[in-house]
Amino acid sequence: MARQLDEQIVGRFPVGQRLRVLDVGMGRGARALRLARAGHQVTGVEQEPAMISTARRTLTAEPEGIRERLRIVQGDGRDTGVHFLPGSFDVVLCHEVLMHVEEPDPLLAGLARMLAPGGLLSLVVRNGDAQAMRPGLSGDWAAALAAFDAVPRPPSRGDADTGAADRPGPEVRADRLTALTATLAGIGAPLHAWYGVGVFIDTATDTDATPTADTDPEAVPGVLLAAEERAGRTDPYRGVAALLHLCGVRG
């Protein structure tokens, strides 16, 4: 996900531009901190106090310049209009959050309003077109059959976020590519590019080598990362990934 996001940023904005980034559902802050280290001005929004505390502790170990570039706001992302003016950000991230929101359209519309013209909206969602893949590959045939028709109830993020968000459990909501494509067009940030995330990694047998959302991409075994990156941008493989990474651009 980190490399996919970098690809979109480099392809859309001038080299060296200091971007205004909003990270909704920043979790423990690894993604926000990486962007702050790259020189961008980052605002992280998170509703869980424990995660905010972890992010703040990590931030205290950073140099002053990086600490000044990362602001943390407590919230669930649906109140962005209270905290920020429309068009305040060049990049808005909403990674692995929609799966925990029962009605995502109002949240997405609010996030799109936060984007400046030409701004990038980056979403990571559970892939509703491939819910049967993981239980099927693991030999859980009953779960695979049930997944074809399941409409899971979304739990709270506090109950569901275990630090392995790239392996979402069965009790989170999923989104379909076609439906989200239509939604993005309707909110004025039409789909520009999309990737699969977790095509092969979810089936890796060495769990110590399996990355999570907070893993530094450079720490992932090279051959696994290369295969995952290639599959995540190649049809038909990306279509059966556990997660989808969608990138919309504000008109």
Give the separation between CA 95 and CA 193, rounded to whole angstroms. 15
Mean pLDDT of 54-63: 96
47 or 151: whose pLDDT is higher?
Answer: 47
**Tokens 């808005």 appear where?**
92
212 or 35: whose pLDDT is higher?
Answer: 35
118 or 83: whose pLDDT is higher?
Answer: 118
pLDDT of residue 201: 84
Of 22, 21, 1, nearest in space to 13 by CA: 21
Give the separation between CA 106 and CA 78, rounded to whole angstroms. 8
Radius of gyration of the chain (CA): 17
Give the separation between CA 142 and CA 167, rounded to whole angstroms. 19
Give the separation between CA 173 and CA 84, rounded to whole angstroms. 28
Give the separation between CA 164 and CA 208, rounded to whole angstroms. 12
Give the separation between CA 248 and CA 164, rounded to whole angstroms. 25
220 or 21: whose pLDDT is higher?
Answer: 21
**pTM (2 decimals)?**
0.86
User: What is the total count of domains within the chain?
Assistant: 1
What are the DSSP E strand ranges found in the chain? 20-24, 41-46, 70-74, 89-95, 115-126, 191-197, 243-249
Can you give the residue range of the structural domain that contains 58? 2-249
123: domain CATH number is 3.40.50.150
Phi first, then psi, for residue 57 (nearest 5°) are -65, -40
Cβ neighbours of 176 (radius 10 Å): 14
